[in-house]
Amino acid sequence: MPQDKLIKITNKETGETYWTRKNKKKVERKIELKKYSKKLRKHVKFTESKK
């Protein structure tokens, strides 16, 4: 996976980060994904942030 395609998604509460990719041709808004938080032990919302 090329590094320029990666985006960083973070959780505001815990500061945890995940790295993922998105199709920039189809998705123009910021991405929000529900991912598992190890600190909170449940699925929470992660939003796209700057690298």
Burial label, 22 (beta-carbon count in 10 A; 0-12, 13-18, 19+): middle
pLDDT in tens, 7-26: 999 999 999 999 999 988 99
Number of C-alpha atoms within 13 angstroms, CB side, residue 20? 17
The H or E element that residue 47 is part of is: strand 42-49
Strand order in the sheet with 17-21: 17-21, 6-10, 42-49, 32-37
Q: What confidence category does residue 32 fall into, taking pLDDT thresholds of 50, 70 and 90?
A: very high
> What is this structure's pTM?
0.83
CATH code for the domain in which residue 23 is found: 2.20.28.120
Parent domain of 22? 3-49
Structurally, the chain folds into a number of domains equal to 1
Q: What confidence category does residue 34 fall into, taking pLDDT thresholds of 50, 70 and 90?
A: very high
